Amino acid sequence: MTGGATVAGVVVLAALAVVAAAGRDWGTEEEDRGNGTAGRGEVTYDGRALILDGARRMLFSGDMHYPRSTPQIWPGLIAKAKKGGLDVIQTYVFWNAHEPVQGQYNFEGRYDLVKFIREIHSQGLYVSLRIGPFIESEWKYGGLPFWLRDIPNITFRSDNEPFKRHMQKFVTKIVNLMKDERLFYPQGGPIIISQIENEYKLVEAAFHSKGPPYVQWAAAMAVNLQTGVPWMMCKQDDAPHPIINTCNGLICGETFLGPNSPNKPALWTENWTSRYPVYGQDQRYRSAADLAFAVALFIARKKGSFVNYYMYHGGTNFGRFASSYVTTSYYDGAPLDEYGLIWQPTWAHLRELHAAVKQSAEPLLWGEYSNHSFGPQQEGHVFATESECVAFLVNFDKHRVSTIQFGEEVFQLAPKSISILSQCRELVFQTGQINAQHGLRTAQVVQSLNHVDRWKIFREPIPTIPGKISNVGNQLCEHLSTTKDETDYPWYLTAYNSRRNGNGQLVLIIEAHAHMLHAFINNNYVGSVHGSHDKPGNIILQAPISVREGRNFISLLCVMVGSPDSGAYMERRSFGVLRVSIKRRQQKPHSMNNEHWKHQVGLSGETNKIYTYEGSSRAEWTTIDKSMHLPLIWYKTTFDTPWGNDPVTLNLSSMRKGEVWINGESIGRYWVSFKTPSGQPSQSMYHIPRFFLKTGENLLVLMEEIGGDPLQITVNTMSVTRIYGSVSEFSTPSLLSRDNHPAVHLRCQKGKHITDVEFASYGNPVEDCRGSGRSCQGSCHAEMSEFIVKNACLGRRKCVVPVRAAKFGGDPCPGIPKSLSVVAICG
């Protein structure tokens, strides 16, 4: 790297005269993407980018997972992604959703992969198909079907013939399905790249000599399927040729070692838009500025030409598909939130970044690259062809503005920010300058379910003699082998004979490798204990108990909150009750491990499917009476479908732990009682897709493990009701706006319009005024501010207000830097 601003300026001027090493063969966007007709060439690549019909492409992509939403909202999600500047939708393929029973396939409803890909294609976007078939993805068993565990002599994800045989069969089935539907790019379809395996390098060493041959086999198997598009392996720096090794992570511009061949492009398959939430932890959101900085740095430093956001829309982990301790809501802080609403300012800020990068696609993909140093924490990256140039000026200093000379201009680089210069002169985007509007999402109560007479309960019987015996013998059974992952709940049942020959309190001691455990003696609740995501070891319950003389029944309910999704030797993982003993005072504990144990799989209500209309009609429901706050209670009521199109949610903050069904469809597990360090539940609002609802009344059933208050449950609609924008008169104008001046852009979600302007000030208002009121005004304020903004915005879905003095009747305070801040209400 060269040092000093003067030297760097000379280099930049020289770079403008450099001729690109390769020629350019650009078609129009429509020509490149085709019109769904066959006859296009194979997708190839070189050291700069993926190549479609002879043209290198700069591609922005976003993960959306078809099982985590419903087909009814796929079109809207994809349309918002396209408007956000994406070119590609990326998705995993979920083996255990498609083949839940060996040889029986499901490609219906939420699992209609072909329909999902066709919808993407119809909107003019490409597809990155991550077949895996191991996917992790915070999805139960990492996407592997549980029946694989019962295949004799199998070892997952290794040079093991049984596993390879089943993996190849499924991958081949998916590839053939895509071929039959003509969905690969050379056939006229949208699939331009596929992935085999997933982050295997993280576990490869654990398989010793069985690891590397498996990588070679997986690569060869995939390539031999002859799809006409490249294959990739993420986090596999030794991916065999011609497989492309890609990066996953938060800061691939800093951590990625680069492609393992100069003839492979730099692809970022997972740029994490937040961190996936787990029960017991606070949500960890990622700022729009940090995301944009990471993307720009990857493109500049690594010559990146493909960036995928994981997730762009996270959606919902319906049913029991979430992995261990993972919440039902998935990546709610993505550019499109769990409900499909636009998450601002992230969505719009990234949209501006995509526009700035694509404006300079030619030098980025074809230009000669040079880098420059402006200080210990400042650097520049230049891409130049004979006619075009783009520069990325980077300031890593998190606290100070940096002033540098670049070429003939002086630039102020904001803290932890990257400035993009079109033609190496004109500032078109700053990652640290957020001009996009912010939005406040609110839940509006539309129905309170507080009528006690409308609720019914079913008491889950505490078994002492199991109705369905899966194992009887002198042993404690393994959880997953017993349940086959068809339920979270196996019962462990035995008896204890007590003789009145001693005094002192008895203590029941249970050790289990599980997520939660509930203990009952003679049908009476004794206590519970649970683990956590960060401490996945054994849990121990020590509870005082009272027993009667003679025979006492011990009933233990072992609970899993999702199965594991990663790691080596997953087929060997074991869970369940490990040790049970009873102790009196200081005496040696009496071990119950070798007693005559019986086991029951699942709850009675599950077995009889009382969460469905048919199953519910057969169950013996009673009035609530005094059953609230008791453990193992099923609750049932009905509610009306909310009017309109806003997303629907249940507020379960008054409940504790369990699962919830709407019209027989599980919308996921809830665990409200597991509080985060901040004292709040990790999730209290639970999404009900409108497709699950009926006209009129809907059946709501909850299985409450610990005890809650259903009378406090509310049905809500979710929307963005308050929007806020603040833009400086010195801000870089939007590339997507017709106006060449800085402006505040406000927009309500579809179906709503601006009903009120709570605050507007052109002057020097408080920097972050997302509330309202005169307290946000600074010492400088144009009196016409509110009038001008209301005139431009009231009654409209969207509006643009330029930030210039003439718009507000002149400069209210000459010599003072000014901005415009607006808080508006959407309704």
Single-letter amino acid code for the residue at 92:
Y
Give the whole-angstrom CA distance, residue 91 versus residue 102.
23
Burial class (CB in 10 A: 0-12, 13-18, 19+), 522: middle
Nearest to 229 by CA among 188, 189, 186: 186
What pLDDT score does 628 carry? Answer: 83
How much is the pLDDT for 3? 37
Q: Could you tell me if 402 and 480 lie in one domain?
A: no
Cα distance between residue 160 and residue 148, in whole Å:
13
What is the C-alpha to C-alpha distance for residues 609 and 605, in angstroms, rounded to an integer?
A: 6
Please report whether residue 795 resides in a domain.
Answer: yes
- What is the rounded CA–CA span in Å between residue 711 and residue 420? 55
Element (H, E) at 556: strand 550-559
With bands split at pLDDT 50, 70 and 90, how would you rate the model's confidence at 455? very high
How many angstroms separate the CA atoms of 686 and 641, rounded?
Answer: 15
Dist. CA 159–CA 608, nearest whole Å: 42
Q: What is the pLDDT of residues 92-112, one digit of tens each?
A: 999 999 999 999 999 999 999
32-46, 670-684, 745-759, range with the lowest pLDDT: 32-46
**Same domain as 384, residue 309:** no
Whether the per-residue pLDDT at 266 is higher than 80: the answer is yes
Q: What is the pLDDT of residues 391-403, one digit of tens each?
A: 999 999 999 999 9
- Cα(582)–Cα(595) distance, rounded to whole angstroms? 12
Please check whether residues 584 and 619 belong to one and the same domain: no
Tell me whether residue 659 is one of the annotated catalytic residues: no
Which residues on neighbouring strands pair with residue 59, listed in sequence order?
306
d(CA 371, CA 368): 10
Q: Which of 562, 584, 602 is the last residue of a domain?
A: 602
Return the SS3 of 605: helix
Type of residue numbered 231: W
Per the annotation, the verdict on 704 as an active-site residue is: no
| Helix extents (H) in 181-210 | 201-204
Query: Is 288 domain-assigned?
Result: yes
Report the pLDDT value the prediction gives residue 775, as an integer from 0 to 100. 73
Q: pLDDT tens, 793-819?
A: 999 999 999 999 999 999 999 999 999
pLDDT of residue 471: 59
Average pLDDT, the chain: 93
Residue 35: the pLDDT is: 36
Could you tell me how far CA 21 lies from the centroid of its own chain?
A: 40
Is the same domain home to 105 and 203?
Answer: yes
> How large is the average pLDDT for residues 459-478?
78
Classify residue 308 by burial, with Cβ atoms within 10 Å: 0-12, 13-18, 19+.
buried
The CATH number for 185's domain is 3.20.20.80
Strands 516-521 and 524-530: antiparallel
Q: What is the four-CA torsion angle of 605, 609, 612, 618, rounded to 10 degrees?
A: -70
Q: Is the pLDDT of residue 8 over 80?
A: no
Confidence of residue 18 (pLDDT cuts 50, 70, 90): very low
pLDDT reported for residue 776: 86
Task: Tell me what pLDDT residue 667 has.
Answer: 98
101 and 178 both lie in a single domain: yes
**Residues of the chain with pLDDT > 70: what percent?**
93
Q: What is the structure's pLDDT at 37?
A: 41
Q: What CATH number did the domain enclosing 789 receive?
A: 2.60.120.740
Q: What confidence category does residue 472 fall into, taking pLDDT thresholds of 50, 70 and 90?
A: low
For the stretch 188-243, pLDDT in tens is 999 999 999 999 999 999 999 999 999 999 999 999 999 999 999 999 999 999 99
pLDDT tens figures, 288-320: 999 999 999 999 999 999 999 999 999 999 999
Q: Is a pLDDT exceeding 70 seen at residue 525? A: yes
Q: Is residue 611 part of a domain?
A: yes
Q: Is the pLDDT of residue 584 over 70?
A: yes
pLDDT digits (tens, 9 = 90+) for 405-449: 999 999 999 999 999 999 999 999 999 999 999 999 999 999 999
- 502 has a pLDDT exceeding 80: no
| The two three-digit tokens of residue 102, written as one number | 């060996």
CB of 251 closer than 8 Å to CB of 264: no
Residue 630 lies in a domain: yes
Residue 14 within a domain: no
Q: How far apart are CA 660 and CA 676, in angstroms?
A: 21
How many Å apart are CA 672 and CA 716, to the nearest integer? 17
pLDDT band at 366 (very low <50, low <70, confident <90, very high): very high
Q: How far apart are CA 371 and CA 301, in angstroms?
A: 8
**From the CB of residue 503, how many other CB atoms can be counted at a distance below 10 Å?**
7
Residues 576 and 486 both lie in one domain: yes
pLDDT of residue 174: 98
Q: How confident is the model at residue 585 (pLDDT cuts 50, 70, 90)?
A: confident
Residue ending a domain, choose from 548, 572, 602 = 602
413 & 485 share domain: no
Q: 272 and 393 share a domain?
A: no
From 119, 138, 197, 270, the catalytic residue: 270
Residues 354 and 321 in one domain: yes
- 362 lies in some domain: yes
* Tokens standing for residue 88: 């590609």
pLDDT reading at 503 higher than 80:
no
Domain that holds residue 294: 57-366
- Edge-first strand order for the sheet with 506-513 is 539-545, 506-513, 576-584, 590-591
Contact 555, 490 (CB under 8 A): no
Give the chain's radius of gyration (CA, Å). Answer: 30
Alpha helices by DSSP H, listed for 43-130, are 74-83, 95-98, 113-122
Per the domain annotation, does 757 fall within a domain? yes
What is the DSSP secondary-structure string of 433-482?
---SPEEEEEEEEEEE---GGG-EEEEPP--SS-SSEEEEESSPPPHHHH
Domain boundary among 602, 624, 644: 602
**CA dihedral defined by 590, 593, 595, 597, rounded to 10 degrees?**
140
Domain count for the chain, please give it.
Answer: 5
Nearest residue to 785 via CA among 818, 819, 754, 762: 762
- Distance, in Å, from the CA atom of 170 to the CA atom of 179, rounded to the nearest integer, reads 14
CATH code (residue 637): 2.60.120.260
Amino acid letter, residue 744: V
Instruction: Tell me the pLDDT band of 586, cut-offs 50, 70 and 90.
Output: confident
Residue 143 DSSP symbol: G
- What are the angstrom distances between the C-alpha of 217 and each of 174, 246, 371, 486? 18, 18, 39, 32
Across the range 117-134, mean pLDDT stands at: 98
Which of the following is catalytic: 136, 199, 388, 659?
199
Give yes or no: residues 176 and 256 share one domain.
yes
Q: Is residue 455 part of a domain?
A: yes
Same domain assignment for residues 109 and 195:
yes
Instruction: State whether 147 and 80 are in the same domain.
Output: yes
Confidence grade of residue 473 (pLDDT, cut at 50, 70, 90): low
